[in-house]
């Protein structure tokens, strides 16, 4: 959801910005832009679409860049960041939303605005303050007037680079006398693994070789942390797309998710057992992991519920301080989730991937899924790793951590085989789907969340309309959409008999059935085969990730960058 990058240091900034933007493009690809402090003035370049459309002609030792996922203002060059003040002496790149931008625009009436964005008020406002005050004071006052969420990096013609944040992620990479400012660690990992995660309402000023961080007018010390992801993990490693690489990493990432520190799992399991009720929440793919997590915990006698975070907000007032919220999120930056958590005052246990993320820093306890960077916009390896950690937790609640570990490791061992066994069938199914403009997914109990996740993957990547239903619900209305040749995917995971009956109800009305499970039935046109396993839901989703990927490719889409979407949804 918009990526920002800044560099000020000893090397040419244009290369750092160009490389950094490529690593951030998964956060938005509506437009891109860069600004370089090319002494004596700031030079700005913008382009619609991909970061590849920028030519990076200017040289300098400081620069900023932006890749946009549009919120305010259409997708065009004028709305691309960086935005500047009227004289072009300040340039900023922003991720987030300035809620009071209309009010501020009015107040700044005499200034010349060139875009429809909320962001453009920032350089104008800062410029106004700077005409009367020193930079640090001007920044403090600017922040106090901005309402909403923001992560901003900027350049001042006098030579400084600035950074500030509230409710949007921002991290500073430190390499001796050079500094990076970025939405996440990815763009600077090749240069340094030392990072400072700015706290809410921190603002930073970088002058030659020196970084100073402030909060509420006072200089503060923020710890430098070492990130144990290596830059290689953020490369495609010979795969055509990140998504394909991430799908094929799963035999490894499921194992890494299993290897939680025993004391961490025990502590988390104690939090669950001590809670009156447990609520799990997340968005999109992570919400389906949360729903499955609630089912795992219920099977161990825990009173557990799940709700998607944007709806969770509305039930938050019923949550007691003796309850527990389990927050599931790959990025740990999803605004809907973070906002929902602010409405509760009970402990939070988070299950996340990104070390140092806002979620991790604001939780009472964090279990990392250890999946390594997930760059494909569609979540794949994070989902199976989230399920692994949640399942392990349910084993821990039953006092069976070792049993859980061996069982999940056995599952990881079977993933490779599931991918290989189904390769040819998936090829055929993806060809078949090219002729279709809608399809349905059904399943019962755990199969219900698999149906939802499989439908989400297919629609977000192939743009084929795909809907998921609990198998039993189909006949209560949606069955009327079934006509000759409509594909219905059925997960034969839990309650096989009734799952099959629900599928046959559609088949009798002309649907073509694609089954997934242990045994092929005559009514299935195609069949995805998985072996018997205690954690079969982790195995069953993987072929559907491949199906979505293959169908997307055959339709000429870019599976790493589905239209209208971006990774890390940092706006509500
Ligand atoms: C779908 C997908 C999204 C994310 C959702 C939550 O493939 O990736 O639905 O799962 O936006 O993101 P995180 O897990 O970062 O909170």
Supply the residue whose CA is at minimum distance from atom 16 of ligand 1. Answer: 329
**If pLDDT is split at 50, 70 and 90, which confidence band does 258 have?**
very high
On whether residue 563 sits in a domain, the answer given is no
pLDDT at 317: 87
Selected catalytic residue, list 22, 295, 561, 567:
567
pLDDT at 240: 94
- Same domain, yes or no, for 456 and 339? no
- The verdict on whether 61 is a catalytic residue reads no
| pLDDT tens digit sequence for 354-383 | 988 899 989 999 999 999 999 999 999 999
Domain boundary among 208, 238, 268: 238
List residues bridging with 438 in a β-sheet: 465
On whether residue 482 sits in a domain, the answer given is yes
Cβ 287 vs Cβ 569: under 8 Å: no
Selected catalytic residue, list 2, 283, 439, 516:
2
On whether residue 439 sits in a domain, the answer given is yes
The DSSP secondary structure of 178-225, one letter per residue, reads: EEEEESSSGGGTTT--EEEEPPTTEEEEEETTEEEEEETTEEE----E
**If pLDDT is split at 50, 70 and 90, which confidence band does 84 have?**
very high
- Same domain, yes or no, for 43 and 142? yes
109 pLDDT more than 90: no
29 pLDDT more than 90: no
Supply the residue whose CA is at minimum distance from atom 3 of ligand 1. Answer: 284
On whether residue 530 sits in a domain, the answer given is yes
Supply the residue whose CA is at minimum distance from atom 7 of ligand 1. Answer: 378
- Same domain, yes or no, for 495 and 455? yes
Ligand 1 atom with minimal separation from the 380 CA: 7
| pLDDT tens digit sequence for 431-467 | 999 999 999 999 999 999 999 999 999 999 999 999 9
Q: What is the pTM of this model?
A: 0.87
- Same domain, yes or no, for 113 and 11? yes
- Same domain, yes or no, for 220 and 288? no
List residues bridging with 326 in a β-sheet: 280, 349
pLDDT at 158: 95
| Domain CATH code at residue 129 | 3.60.20.10
- Same domain, yes or no, for 133 and 261? no
> How does DSSP classify residue 330?
S
| pLDDT tens digit sequence for 481-520 | 999 999 999 999 999 999 999 999 999 999 999 999 999 9
On whether residue 427 sits in a domain, the answer given is no
- Same domain, yes or no, for 30 and 144? yes
pLDDT at 566: 82
Mutate to test the pocket of ligand 1, among 242, 243, 246, 286 (most ligand atoms within 8 A of CB): 286
On whether residue 562 sits in a domain, the answer given is no
Q: How far apart are CA 171 and CA 187, in angstroms?
A: 11
**If pLDDT is split at 50, 70 and 90, which confidence band does 237 have?**
confident
Structural domains of the chain, count: 3
| Domain CATH code at residue 449 | 3.40.50.10490
Per the structure, the complete domain to which residue 519 belongs is given by 433-554
- Same domain, yes or no, for 328 and 375? yes
- The verdict on whether 567 is a catalytic residue reads yes
Supply the residue whose CA is at minimum distance from atom 10 of ligand 1. Answer: 285
- Same domain, yes or no, for 276 and 329? yes
**What's the CA dihedral at 48, 51, 57, 60 to 10 degrees?**
120
- Same domain, yes or no, for 232 and 260? no
Cβ 426 vs Cβ 540: under 8 Å: no
How close is the Cα of 331 to the center of ligand 1, in Å? 8
Ligand 1 is surrounded, with C-beta below 6 A, by: 282-286, 329-331, 334, 337, 378-379, 456, 460, 568-569
Share above pLDDT 70 across residues of the chain, in percent, rounded to a whole number: 100
| pLDDT tens digit sequence for 276-331 | 999 999 999 999 999 999 999 999 999 999 999 999 989 988 999 999 999 999 99
- Same domain, yes or no, for 97 and 214? yes
On whether residue 169 sits in a domain, the answer given is yes
How close is the Cα of 284 to the center of ligand 1, in Å? 5
For residue 484, the SS3 value is coil
- Same domain, yes or no, for 174 and 316? no
């Amino acid at each position: 959801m918009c990526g920002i990058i800044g560099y000020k240091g000893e090397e040419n900034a244009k290369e750092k910005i160009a490389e950094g933007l490529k690593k951030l493009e998964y956060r938005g690809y509506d437009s891109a832009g860069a600004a370089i402090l090319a002494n004596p003035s700031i030079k700005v370049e913008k382009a619609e679409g991909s970061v590849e459309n920028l030519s990076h002609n200017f040289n300098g030792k400081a620069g900023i860049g932006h890749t946009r996922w549009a919120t305010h203002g259409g997708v065009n060059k004028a709305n691309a960041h960086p935005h500047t003040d009227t004289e072009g002496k300040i340039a900023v790149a922003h991720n987030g939303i300035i809620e009071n931008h209309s009010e501020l625009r009015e107040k700044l009436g005499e200034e010349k605005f060139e875009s429809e964005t909320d962001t453009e008020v920032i350089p104008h406002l800062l410029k106004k303050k700077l005409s009367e005050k020193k930079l640090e004071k001007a920044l403090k006052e600017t922040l106090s007037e901005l309402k909403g969420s923001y992560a901003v990096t900027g350049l001042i013609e006098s030579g400084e680079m600035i950074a500030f944040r509230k409710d949007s992620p921002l991290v500073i990479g430190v390499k001796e006398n050079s500094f990076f400012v970025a939405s996440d660690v990815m763009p600077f990992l090749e240069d340094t693994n030392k990072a400072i995660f700015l706290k809410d309402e921190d603002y930073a000023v970088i002058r030659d070789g020196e970084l100073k961080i402030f909060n509420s007018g006072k200089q503060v010390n923020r710890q430098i942390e070492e990130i144990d992801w290596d830059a290689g993990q953020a490369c495609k490693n010979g795969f055509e797309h990140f998504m394909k690489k991430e799908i094929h990493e799963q035999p490894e990432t499921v194992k890494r998710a299993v290897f939680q520190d025993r004391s961490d799992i025990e502590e988390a399991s104690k939090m669950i057992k001590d809670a009156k009720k447990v609520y799990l929440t997340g968005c999109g793919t992570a919400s389906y992991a949360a729903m499955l997590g609630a089912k795992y915990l219920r099977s161990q006698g825990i009173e557990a519920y799940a709700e998607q975070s944007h709806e969770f907000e509305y039930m938050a007032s019923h949550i007691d301080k003796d309850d527990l919220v389990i927050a599931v999120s790959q990025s740990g930056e999803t605004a809907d989730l973070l906002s929902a958590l602010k409405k509760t005052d009970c402990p939070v246990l988070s299950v996340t991937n990104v070390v140092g993320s806002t979620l991790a820093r604001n939780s009472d306890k964090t279990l990392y899924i250890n999946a390594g960077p997930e760059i494909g916009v569609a979540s794949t390896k994070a989902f199976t790793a989230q399920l692994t950690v949640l399942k392990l937790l349910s084993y821990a609640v039953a006092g069976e951590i070792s049993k859980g570990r061996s069982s999940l490791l056995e599952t990881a061992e079977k993933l490779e085989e599931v991918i290989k066994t189904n390769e040819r069938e998936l090829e055929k199914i993806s060809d078949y789907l090219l002729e279709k403009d809608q399809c349905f997914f059904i399943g019962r109990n755990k199969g219900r969340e698999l149906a939802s996740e499989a439908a989400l993957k297919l629609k977000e990547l192939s743009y084929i309309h795909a809907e998921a239903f609990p198998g039993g619900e189909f006949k209560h209305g949606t069955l009327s959409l079934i006509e000759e040749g409509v594909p219905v995917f059925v997960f034969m995971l839990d309650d096989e008999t009734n799952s099959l009956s629900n599928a046959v109800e559609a088949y009798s009305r002309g649907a073509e059935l694609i089954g997934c499970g242990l045994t092929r039935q005559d009514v299935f046109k195609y069949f995805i085969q998985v072996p018997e396993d205690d954690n079969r839901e982790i195995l069953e989703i993987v072929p559907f990730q491949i199906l979505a990927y293959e169908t997307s490719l055959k339709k000429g889409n870019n599976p790493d960058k589905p239209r209208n979407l971006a990774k890390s949804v940092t706006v509500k």
